[in-house]
Amino acid sequence: MVRTRIDLPASGPRTLGLPRWFRAVLVAAAAAWAAAAAAPVAAFTVFACEPEWAALARGLLPQARVHVATTVQQDPHHIEARPALIAQLRGADLAACTGASLEAGWLPTLQQRAGNPLVQDGAPGMFYAADHVVLIDVPQRGAAALATPFAGDVHAEGNPHLHADPRRLLEAARALAARVQALQPAQAGAVGERLARLESRLLARIGDWERRAAPLRGRAVAVQHGSLAYLWRWLGLVPVADLEPVPGMAPTPGHLQRVLQALRPKPPLAIVIARHQDPRPGRWLAAQFGGSVPLLVLPATVPDDGAPGAIEDWFEQLLQALLKAAGA
């Protein structure tokens, strides 16, 4: 018996008999499909004006790409509209900011130059936390009276630093979650579950923090600016002096002397400044009390927005520093 050997073409049996040009088309189409299947889906992108909103956005939508415009070392009132920030806002699906004119000196410029219709004022992708929370320290004078060279960094809408009260922060988190759910309906259920877990954790911690803060209630503090005004009100601390002559103006020697004379009869628990502020005026004032009044340099926002539990850790850090100053 004679066996005949049949050699198949190098292209394999599935292409046997097909024209060479058609086989090339099939191979190219298969390669294109494989590449498309392997390519990552464009991530939902969030532009956060401040670290606290970046931390919330990461917690609600972990798969999102999050850009943060400011850090704990920066004053959120005064940020340069850099090209990198413009590019980040241009590609954002959602911008999460404080509002109440906190970013008025730089965000409108970013919005105009980015030209992204999704994150313009009034668009679904532009979220202002202050729109969903009752603010404190609303000036009694009209907005026109505030717009003078002598008014300082005063906001007609009220104090914008609402994130320093965990209860108001939770209100803003609920509103931010609703906005994310509207923009990402496929993720609505998962976002709702993450919000519920955040609420559970924060509410439990708030009860613990308020119980431990009992020794602080009614105690006086000297401060610089209203960056932590919501914290003082929440914990029952009383700011009795401000190192700034007017909000946003750097302390002057004459004003510091007046503050010192006012505080000498009854020294405060501590002198408190934010990490982004110049510590020298606070150091000088603390030195006048011979070490009996400590200077606390506290972060005015979340130090690391990418860390798990960043918000809870920040409030814990603030409370521990204040309790230590009180000897509690």
Whole-number Å distance between alpha carbons of 57 and 70: 15
For residue 16, pLDDT over 80 is answered with no
Higher per-residue confidence, 315 vs 30 = 315
CATH value at residue 319: 3.40.50.1980
- CA 149, distance to chain mean position in Å, is 29
For residue 24, pLDDT over 90 is answered with no
235 in the same domain as 104: no
β-partners of residue 68 are 48
| pTM, two decimal places | 0.84
On whether residue 294 sits in a domain, the answer given is: yes
Amino acid making up residue 87: A
On whether residue 287 sits in a domain, the answer given is: yes
229 in the same domain as 96: no
For residue 325, pLDDT over 50 is answered with yes
198 in the same domain as 53: yes
203 in the same domain as 218: no
CA distances for 314 relative to 183, 220, 319, angstroms: 29, 22, 9
For residue 148, pLDDT over 70 is answered with no
β-partners of residue 65 are 45
Whole-number Å distance between alpha carbons of 184 and 192: 12
254 in the same domain as 121: no
pLDDT of residue 7: 46
For residue 38, pLDDT over 60 is answered with no
Q: Are strands 220-223 and 270-274 parallel, antiparallel or unpaired?
A: parallel
* Per-residue pLDDT tens digits for 264-274: 999 999 999 99
Tell me the average pLDDT across 234-258. 96
218 in the same domain as 108: no
* Per-residue pLDDT tens digits for 186-203: 999 999 999 999 999 999
Average pLDDT, the chain: 88
β-partners of residue 97 are 128
Contacts of 138 (CB under 8 A, 6+ apart): 156, 157, 158
225, two tokens: 């600016």
Question: Which residue is listed with tokens 């609505």?
Answer: 188
Domain C-terminal end among 151, 182, 209: 209
**Highest mean pLDDT: which of 16-20, 245-249, 316-320?**
316-320
Residue 120, φ and ψ in degrees, nearest 5:
-85, 160
CA distances for 72 relative to 68, 168, 275, 305, angstroms: 11, 20, 7, 10
305, two tokens: 């927005």
Question: Which residue is listed with tokens 């972990």?
Answer: 62
Instruction: Identify the domain containing residue 73 by its residue range.
Output: 45-209
Tell me the average pLDDT across 132-138. 96
On whether residue 37 sits in a domain, the answer given is: no
Tell me the average pLDDT across 106-126. 98
233 in the same domain as 163: no
On whether residue 117 sits in a domain, the answer given is: yes
Q: Are strands 126-128 and 94-97 parallel, antiparallel or unpaired?
A: parallel
Whole-number Å distance between alpha carbons of 248 and 127: 25
229-264 residues labelled b (16+ CB within 10 A) or e (exposed): bbbbbbbebebbbbbbbebeeebeeebbeebeeebe
203 in the same domain as 220: no
On whether residue 131 sits in a domain, the answer given is: yes
On whether residue 282 sits in a domain, the answer given is: yes
Tell me the average pLDDT across 322-328. 94
Which strands make up the sheet holding 94-97, listed edge to edge?
65-68, 45-48, 94-97, 126-128
189 in the same domain as 103: yes
Report how many domains make up the chain: 2
Other C-beta atoms closer than 10 Å to the C-beta of 208 total 11
pLDDT of residue 140: 81
CA distances for 135 relative to 19, 301, 321, angstroms: 74, 17, 25
